[in-house]
Structure 1
Amino acid sequence: MTERSRDDAATAGHTGPEPRWLSDAEQAAWLAYLHATTLLEDHLDRQLQRDAGMPHIYYALLVHLSEAPDGQLRMTELAQQAKITRSRLSHAVARLEKNGWVRREECPSDKRGQLAVLTEAGFETLRQAAPGHVAAVRAAIFDRLTPEQTERFGEACRIIAQGLQPAGADLPWLR
């Protein structure tokens, strides 16, 4: 927001304490972050669609399942790990089931719960998609950063994530 638009916003019916506007440096960093993350998500999604016939979120779900014991997770836990709502997860898992990459099973310890289970076909699809995806991530991010920048980038991301997930936070995937 420019200085002029800040002044306009402040006089346009705003009540309460004066907002803490972003400094020019903060505004530039914020816009760079938005630009980079939008481009990155689009880049990774297009690469996975082209090379593996799936959107980035499906790849992420297969990865979470592949890393889980016995390749299975409760649907609620998978939603939490993927940071998506249970409704969006249910739709995604239905598509993964249709492709034969995942199946749902009743949870033996809780008859109301369901498990998402990675199938052999899903694991094979993931195995084939992983090299291209890793290459796309490497080319988009890590080949452009020095080791020191990579360390600072990781640290900044961890700090931001920790601040956005405090204990007891009302996050959509926890509802």
Structure 2
Amino acid sequence: MDEPRWLDQDEMAAWRGFVAASNLLNRRLERQLKDDSGLSHTQYEILVHLSAAPEGSLRMTELADRLITSKSGLTYQVTQLEKAGLVSRRSCPSDVRGIFADLTEQGREAVRNAAPGHLAMVRELLIDVLSREQLAVLADGLGEVSRRLRADERA
């Protein structure tokens, strides 16, 4: 068995900073959305993706891919949104196994109402804390990590 490649001091600082910041950020965003709109962060992201899609509709498989979540986890969240009247589901006419998630008018209103507070919190906790240069490095570095991980999943 090969000896592990231990992290040096700079690598460990980057790793610990990433883990701490992402966990703290997620916790604060989750709390803000729950308090302000009654939505989980995942539910909010579902509504955002549907609102940006043509006619407010996406196949569940495509929605799961965009959210980087399991189909079963997505099904649970969409069921909760459906119970709240924010999303509806329908069968795909060309594929009996395919299901579409459709944003309802109540769902559009929910995402419009939740977006300003969520955006303000994202700005306060992340965007406005970093310089333009830091944002560019962050976007470039995490973008590369995401591209590689997605490519590995598809391989």
TM-score interval for Structure 1 and Structure 2 normalised by the shorter chain: over 0.9
2:150 pairs with 1:165: yes
Aligned to 2:67: 82
Number of the residue aligned with 1:153? 138
Q: Deviations over 1:67-90 (max 9, x none)?
A: 111100111111111111000011
Deviation digits for residues 123-153 of structure 1 (CA, Å, limit 9, x no counterpart): 0000000000000000011111111111111
1:168, distance to aligned residue in structure 2 (A): 5.5
Query: Which one has a larger percent helix, Structure 1 or Structure 2?
Result: 2
Alignment of 1:21-36 (within 5 A): 21-36=6-21
- From 93, 98, 122, the equivalent of 1:137 is 122
- Spell out structure 1 runs of 4+ moving beyond 2 A: 167-170
Aligned length: 155
1:44–1:115: structure 2 CA closer, same or farther, 3 Å change rule?
Answer: same
Q: Helix, strand or coil for the counterpart of 1:113?
A: strand
The 2-side partners of 1:165 and 1:143 are apart by 28
Q: Which residue of 1 aligns with 2:95?
A: 110
Q: What one-letter code is carried by the residue in structure 2 that aligns with 1:166?
A: A
* Residue among 81, 85, 105 paired with 1:100: 85
Q: Where does the alignment leave 5 or more consecutive residues of structure 1 unmatched?
A: 1-15, 171-175
Q: How does the TM-score come out when normalised to structure 1?
A: 0.86
Amino acid across the alignment from 1:42:
R
**Stretches of structure 2 lacking an aligned partner (at least 5 in a row):** none
TM-score normalized with structure 2 length: 0.97
CA RMSD of aligned residues (A): 1.1
